[in-house]
Structures are given as structure tokens and as C-alpha cells.
A and B are shown apart, each in its own frame.
Chain A
Amino acid sequence: MFNYSTSLGSTVLPNPIVTASGCAGSGKELSQFFPLTELGAIVTKSIMLKPRSGRATPRMAETPSGMLNSIGLQGPGIDSFLENDIPWLQSQSARIIVSIAGESVEDYASLARRVRNIPNVVGIEVNISCPNVENRGMVFSCQPDTARAAIENVRRNIGGEVPIFAKLSPDVTDIVAIAREVVNAGADGLALINTVLGMVIDVNTMRPKLAQKTGGLSGPAIRPIAVRAIYQVRAALPKIPIIGMGGVASGKDALELVLAGASAISVGTATFGNPTAVMKIKQELESLLTERGFDNFVDAVGFAHRMESL
């Protein structure tokens, strides 16, 4: 009997397949296609302190094997989220990883206080890497000092109740340095990777396709970047659990990230192309691991690193 369970710090999930923040809303729409309890956990859309309209349209451009998005963290704010979305997710018996995003390092402290002790919340993803903000200086994870400050503010407000995961951007010179910084600041784990900043120009209008010019690139196009980032960080910090994401659309893709060092896999853009992508990936990954002789999912995590240690 294959043991699919995985550990993310103090949290144990029955399987490692989770949604990606911003790609599953707060679960209601996807629940029409499968029970949310089938997921290891649902990672909710990054929530901010206040309601946010997000960016102007056009917000989306399809690219080869991917897409650019420029949503800009549209959402109802933490009050509405706690009042409406969380009780609904609890009623579905879903395991919840709440993703939080702030405009300032202080915001992260305030948000952490609101989400630290909620039934069914099994983890907090601290999104310090959304690329769709007016000021690139606000991408906290792009500088070691701001990355550290944001995570410290969360850690100060969340003891050991629930593990916290820092979500990092691949748009940095040395992602391992940023990873070390946030782990030293108290992150229990990491979420790798956020989208890659990109741009598309419409050759007919001869202007950028997105209203805000730039957007986050996601989908299979960025998978090799995710595999590289996860592999590098796993090699440097082998004891830190990683939620891996970036263009996973099949069980084979998920396996790549697991072998690189991911203890859980987030599925994002693939859900846009197929509402039941997470279920398909969950089944395919289990088959691939069984075929390769694994009895326990966790034995495959970081397995690609063994060549270096032997």
C-alpha cells in the first residue's frame, strides 16, 4: 500500500497535491468538479488587509506554453475572507493553507495575527513575491533585508501553532541567499516559485498587451526555472520543506519537482486549462512513484540529489 502522506514542518497532509494561490480562488468554483478533501490542502488566493480592485484590463496574455497575468491581488480583504471564505472551507472539511500578502512589512504582522489560530488552517503562505505591484521595490523577496523583515513580522505573531512558508520570486540573482535569509528569520518552509516577470507586445497595436505592461509568467514555460530553484535551495537547505510550483501540468511534471526537493506540489495555471487537473496530477504522480518502486512518497523527495551524496 503506497503511503502518499507528506510533512510540511509540523503539518502532515494525506497527499502532497495542493492548489497554487491565486489559481483556485477560495475553492468554491473547483468544489463543483471534485471534493476539496481530495486535495492535500487548498492554498487560497493571497489575501490582503483591505479590499483590492486589482489592476486594469487587459490582465492576461497567453504565451507559448504559458500565460502572463496582471491581476494585482484583487480580493475582498481579510475581514470578508474570515467572515465568508474560511467558514465555507471549514464546512467542506478542507485543509487550508492561507496565503497572505501585504503592502508593507507591518501589514504582514497584522495579517499574521488574524490567521494564526483558525481551525482547519494547516499552514500560512507568506506571499512576499507578487510581481504585479506598482513599485518593484515592493517585491519584498527581491531584497534580503525586506524579505527578512516581512517574515520576521509574521514569525513574531505566529508561534508554533502553524508552519509558515515564505513564497519567493525566481527574479533574483541568488535565490539560495534569499532562502537562507527567510529561514533565518523564522520561516518553517518555502514556497518556490512565484511567477517570472514578463511582457508581451501586440505587433498589431504595437503596444504592450497588458494594461500595466508587465505581468507574471506562469505555466510549463517556467517549469525548468522552478526545478532549478527547488534543486538549488534543497541542496543548500536540505531540512527545510519546500512547496514546489511552476508549470506542473502532469504527474511527470510533478515528479520532476519532487525529485528536485519539493515535499508538496502546487498546481496553478494547469487548473485554468482543466478544472480537474489537480486530480489527474495526483493520480499520475502516484502511478509514476509506484512504478519506480517507491512505497512512501516522502522517500522520493529530493531523490535527484543522491548522485551527489553517493
Chain B
Amino acid sequence: MSAINSRAVQCSAQVVSNKKVGAYHHIILSVDSIAAAARPGNFVAIAVGGASSSLVLRRAFAIYRAADKGSAGGVIELVVAPHGEGSKWLTARQVHETVDLVGPLGTSFGIPTEPVRCILVGGGYGSAPLFGLAEILKARGCRVDMVLGASSAGKIYAPLDGKRSVSSMTITTDDGSAGMHGRVSEALSQIIEENGSELIYSCGPMAMLEAIQEIADKYNLVHQASVEESMACGIGVCMTCVVPLRGSDGVIRMSRTCIDGPVMDGANVIWNSRGSIPEGTWGA
């Protein structure tokens, strides 16, 4: 792709709703045309902290769901964990306040044209973009098995209405406080073998995505992974959010996760390369 999402625009988005759900905030923003342009896997970049803030960088948030309401405009929904200064600021916004938002940004999950047996794997708030994806896949007649993992029960984001779109839902927690005791990757093999899964979609921490890729390789499955690397701008100009990615020409390039991602073909990502440049990378 290597070009900014051609639908991306900047807008002043009004907060329609902001509710605490477990460890997260579910936020609805009025965004006009961005809702119609958004695809599952796309993200938005939001300015945080207000005009005189010392937080100078935009924050990227995966779109949880988008709803186009025609002439009435559209809304997008976000699931935000108030961890850092920027996300704490955003989750403190009141209804009717506005935020400066750019979107939709990045690549989206590829949707199969025929019914395919899919597994959707989310880690922590990484589950956010998977529910909108599940709805679309279900509508296409796909089997959708979802696996959500987190460190503990409170960090699983799995709203009741989201569960309607999935054929099965498996929860794993590192501490065993909910669902299976262990990591999502440990649950995957059994689900793949039971359901004859053909395609994996994932979103979450890089270590989890890498573990999923190993399983995808073992079963020879396509793996579309939504990756994560520190981002300063979200629009492709800062060059901070890169990961080594093998292109269609076989060449590894340090590729922007905001432009060539966040959704990448997991088989083409050179995993576990944080802190070094893989040998053979273009220009290394």
C-alpha cells in the first residue's frame, strides 16, 4: 500500500457518550463522513491534553465499531484503557465536548469473499476492532471463533452484544481469574483442530502476535495481524512506528505500521526484532 489511507480527514469530533465498562471506557464520537469510510482494523489519531498541554503527540486508537447514519452523519466507538496520560485525558471527556481527530487511518482486515472458518484473537483492549470485524464476517456466512486473553478477568473486553456475532467465545487469563488459565496461544491449537479454522485475525501485544504466527505457520493458516509500535503522528510522516516487513518483492523494509499497517500479513512481519534491524533489511 505505502500510501496514507485516502479516506483520512481531520475533524472536530463531539463526544456522544463516555461510559466506564470494567477496566475500560466505551466512548462514542460523532465523526460525520469518517464513519462511512472506516473499515475494521482502521484506527484514528486523536490530539490529547487540550491546547496548552505538554503532550505534543497524537494518540492512536483502534476503531471498535463504526455506524454510518446517512445525512445525520456517523459515529465511531472506541474502547480506551486509561493507562497513560493521553488515554486518561480522553476517558475524562464529558458528553458534548469535542476532540480533534484524524481518521480513518491505516490498513484494514481483509474480508474473504466466500464463507471461511475464522478465528479472531484479541489481547486486552486489542479485542476492540475484532467485534466489528466479527459482525461483517458473520454476515458473510463465516464461522467466527473468538479467543480473548488478558492478564486478569477485569482486563477482558467482551461486551454482551459483541458475543452475538461469534460462534464460540473462549476466554483466557494469565492468572486464571476467568476462563482458561494461560495464554491465548495455548488455547488456539485445540480450536483450530476442532473447527478446521482457515484464517486467523489478531490484535494485541507483539509477543502474542508472534506466538500466534508460530501456530499459523504450524497449521499453514493465513494470519492477518494488527501490530503495535510507538507512533508519534499516525499519518506516515514521523517514521517512528516501523516494523521490518517483507514486501511482495521479497525485500525486507522498515515499514510504517500507520501506513502499511496496522493490519499486516503476519507471515511477512519479521517478528521479535525490536531492538535490532534484521539482517538483509533494505538499506541496513
- Could you list which residues of chain A lie within 8 angstroms of chain B, going by C-beta atoms? 22-25, 28-30, 32-33, 45, 50-62, 64-67, 69, 71, 74-77, 211, 219-220, 249, 269-276
Cβ–Cβ < 8 Å partners of A23 in chain B: 237-238
Neighbour of B282 across the interface among A24, A32, A51, A60, CB < 8 A = A51
Distance, CA A53 to CA B3, complexed state (A): 18
Cβ–Cβ < 8 Å partners of B231 in chain A: 60
Interface segment out of the listed B53-61, B64-72, B114-122, B129-137: B53-61
Distance, CA A60 to CA B232, complexed state (A): 7
Neighbour of B229 across the interface among A24, A30, A57, CB < 8 A = A57
Residue pair A54, B274 in contact (C-beta under 8 Å) = no
Cβ–Cβ < 8 Å partners of A249 in chain B: 56
Cβ–Cβ < 8 Å partners of B254 in chain A: 53-54, 74
Cβ–Cβ < 8 Å partners of B259 in chain A: 29
Closest chain-B Cβ to A155's Cβ sits at a distance in Å of 28
| A51, closest chain B residue (CB) | B283
Cβ–Cβ < 8 Å partners of A24 in chain B: 237
Distance, CA A30 to CA B235, complexed state (A): 8
Residue pair B100, A272 in contact (C-beta under 8 Å) = no
Neighbour of B236 across the interface among A29, A61, A76, CB < 8 A = A29
Tell whether B168 is near chain A: CB-to-CB under 8 Å. no
List, sorted by A's number, 21 A–B pairs whose CB atoms are closer than 8 Å.
A32-B6, A45-B239, A56-B276, A57-B274, A58-B274, A59-B230, A59-B239, A60-B230, A60-B232, A62-B57, A77-B283, A220-B56, A249-B56, A272-B57, A272-B58, A272-B238, A273-B58, A274-B10, A274-B58, A274-B100, A276-B10
Closest chain-B Cβ to A223's Cβ sits at a distance in Å of 12
Cβ–Cβ < 8 Å partners of B90 in chain A: none
Cβ–Cβ < 8 Å partners of B253 in chain A: 53
Distance, CA A75 to CA B242, complexed state (A): 12
Residue pair A57, B242 in contact (C-beta under 8 Å) = yes
Closest chain-A Cβ to B7's Cβ sits at a distance in Å of 9
Distance, CA A23 to CA B236, complexed state (A): 9
Q: How many residues of B contact A (CB 8 A)?
A: 40
New A-B contacts (18) at CB < 8 Å, excluding given A53-B254, A74-B254, A75-B283: A23-B238, A24-B237, A29-B235, A29-B236, A32-B6, A32-B8, A53-B284, A54-B254, A56-B273, A65-B54, A65-B56, A67-B56, A69-B238, A74-B239, A220-B56, A271-B237, A273-B233, A276-B10
Cβ–Cβ < 8 Å partners of A32 in chain B: 4, 6, 8, 235
Neighbour of A272 across the interface among B8, B10, B56, B275, CB < 8 A = B56
Cβ–Cβ < 8 Å partners of B240 in chain A: 57, 59-60, 69, 71
Tell whether B277 is near chain A: CB-to-CB under 8 Å. yes
Distance, CA A28 to CA B9, complexed state (A): 14
Interface centre among B237, B253, B254, B284 (most CB of A within 10 A): B237
Neighbour of A71 across the interface among B3, B229, B239, CB < 8 A = B239
Cβ–Cβ < 8 Å partners of A56 in chain B: 273-277
A54-B56 CB under 8 A given contacts A28-B4, A33-B10, A77-B283: no
Cβ–Cβ < 8 Å partners of A62 in chain B: 55-57, 232
| A76, closest chain B residue (CB) | B283
Encoded as 1 (CB less than 8 Å from any A CB) or 0, chain B from 144 to 171 comes to 0000000000000000000000000000
Distance, CA A294 to CA B282, complexed state (A): 50
Cβ–Cβ < 8 Å partners of B56 in chain A: 62, 65-67, 219-220, 249, 269-270, 272-273
Residue pair A74, B3 in contact (C-beta under 8 Å) = no
Tell whether B75 is near chain A: CB-to-CB under 8 Å. no
Tell whether B281 is near chain A: CB-to-CB under 8 Å. yes
A53-B282 CB under 8 A given contacts A67-B232, A269-B56, A273-B56: yes
Distance, CA A56 to CA B275, complexed state (A): 5
Tell whether B264 is near chain A: CB-to-CB under 8 Å. no
Interface centre among A29, A50, A270 (most CB of B within 10 A): A29
Closest chain-A Cβ to B284's Cβ sits at a distance in Å of 4
Closest chain-A Cβ to B252's Cβ sits at a distance in Å of 9
Cβ–Cβ < 8 Å partners of B243 in chain A: 57
Residue pair A211, B275 in contact (C-beta under 8 Å) = yes
Q: Would you list which residues of chain B between 235 and 274 have a CB under 8 Å from chain A?
A: 235-243, 253-254, 259, 273-274
Distance, CA A64 to CA B56, complexed state (A): 8
Q: Would you list which residues of chain B between 86 and 110 have a CB under 8 Å from chain A?
A: 100, 102
Neighbour of B57 across the interface among A57, A59, A273, CB < 8 A = A273
Distance, CA A71 to CA B238, complexed state (A): 8
